[in-house]
Amino acid sequence: MNGTSVEAACDESGSDGENLTRGNTDVFAHASVVLPMESAAGHIREIRDRIRSPAEEYKANHLLREKHRAVLEWLLSVSGPLYGQAHVHLVEKAFFLVDRTADLLLDDPGTAPSLYRSGRGTFSAEEWREFLTAANRLLWVRVDEASGEPVEAFFHHIDTLRRAYSGTVAADILERFAQGRERARSYRAAILDGRAPLIPVLNPLPSSILRTAAHWSGGGRPVRLAHDRQNMLTPERIAWIEDTARRRGIGLTGLRLVVAGSDARVQLADFLAGIARRFASDELNGRGDPALTALLRPYTGGSAVWGDEGSRARLGAVAEPDNVGTGPSGCSTEVNSAL
């Protein structure tokens, strides 16, 4: 492995765990910053001096207030402290859910873009929401949802859609989904038997961490990650992330958890994640600010788990399926060899 090792400090915004349809946000953002601790601390002090809020802890919302727009623009600008030193991986939750459902039922997440586009264009808005909700229940690892009821409800719903929209691209894909009923039953049975997957299929954090590591280790540079503490990141899951990175040829040499309040770099990553999530959500919902979106574009990198074509283009992200999941048996699967 070539190059000098770098440590990227990470945080996320928009996490609702496995609740991808009825949570507080429709976008998940994972941000990372590669700056010396001393420099990051100086930038935090400058942000505080510019905003002059009495709050003890600053969050992205402080920067997103209209009265602080000049500070926000400075932070993201070419002459700002983050330019060239930060990255954001974006996940559109609805598309991520479709992607994970296709992986479970067909072992083919490549079907997700077609279903996402055709489903939204064919079904009514309410029918599309109901489909996503049923899919979320099917895949969600919850004790009170461990019975077979989520399976039967999901397939009843897609059977109804298939009949109502027979002959459409969306219905043809759902016809293929219907053949995955036994895979879905096996998945739910494993949860009922106490064999839930170590990595929940609907939580976007683990695969986002891997994509962040892949970004910073490009060209063979080894990278360490310092991540804000997350209950989801247990020692066993961290070990899985590190092992998966090794097997995929990602130069991740270690992942450690830190307290955000004691690491200025993580605080900057927290700012960037919250800002990116807001801007991306605004673009997804047709209310984006072109000037602010243009400022975010250099940070979004070359990929995102994103299905909406218009907002994806405006954000400057290339859509990709999520390439790390857990199969119906609970074992890790790698469904796409390319990041």
Q: What digits encode the pLDDT tens for the residues 82-99?
A: 999 999 999 999 999 999
Q: Which residue has the higher pLDDT, 301 or 264?
A: 264
Residue 56 has pLDDT above 90, yes or no: no
Tell me, what's the pLDDT at 194?
A: 87
Q: Which amino acid is at 319?
A: A
Tell me, what's the pLDDT at 158?
A: 97
Residue 336 has pLDDT above 70, yes or no: no
From the list 40, 23, 18, the residue with the least C-alpha distance to 258 is 40
Measured CA to CA, the distance from residue 31 to residue 209 in angstroms comes to 9
Contact call for residues 217 and 252 (beta carbons, < 8 A): yes
Residue carrying structure tokens 């609702």: 16
Residue 330 has pLDDT above 60, yes or no: no
Measured CA to CA, the distance from residue 186 to residue 328 in angstroms comes to 6
SS3 of the chain: helix, strand, coil, percent, to 5: 55, 10, 35
What are phi and psi for residue 289, nearest 5 degrees?
A: -100, 110
Band of residue 229 on the pLDDT scale cut at 50, 70, 90: very high
Tell me, what's the pLDDT at 192?
A: 87
Residue carrying structure tokens 């598309």: 95
Residue 185 has pLDDT above 70, yes or no: yes
Q: By percentage, how much of the chain surpasses pLDDT 90?
A: 76
Residue 314 has pLDDT above 50, yes or no: yes
Residue 165 has pLDDT above 80, yes or no: yes
Measured CA to CA, the distance from residue 51 to residue 68 in angstroms comes to 7
Band of residue 148 on the pLDDT scale cut at 50, 70, 90: confident
Band of residue 155 on the pLDDT scale cut at 50, 70, 90: very high
Alpha-carbon torsion (157, 159, 160, 165), positive or negative: positive
Q: Which amino acid is at 318?
A: V
Which DSSP state fits 305? B
Band of residue 54 on the pLDDT scale cut at 50, 70, 90: low
Q: Which residue has the higher pLDDT, 11 or 64?
A: 11
Q: Which residue has the higher pLDDT, 80 or 331?
A: 80
Bridge-partner residues for 255, per DSSP? 225
Residues 6+ apart with CB under 8 A from 156: none
Measured CA to CA, the distance from residue 89 to residue 149 in angstroms comes to 34
The top-scoring range by mean pLDDT among 27-31, 49-53, 110-114 is 27-31
Mean pLDDT across the stretch 242-249?
Answer: 96
Residue 2 has pLDDT above 80, yes or no: no
Band of residue 323 on the pLDDT scale cut at 50, 70, 90: low
Contact call for residues 220 and 1 (beta carbons, < 8 A): yes
What are phi and psi for residue 190, nearest 5 degrees?
A: -60, -40
Work out the mean pLDDT of the chain and round it to a whole number.
90
Measured CA to CA, the distance from residue 96 to residue 143 in angstroms comes to 22
Mean pLDDT across the stretch 259-274?
Answer: 94
Tell me, what's the pLDDT at 86?
A: 97
The encoded tokens of residue 212 equal: 């962040």
Mean pLDDT across the stretch 244-256?
Answer: 96
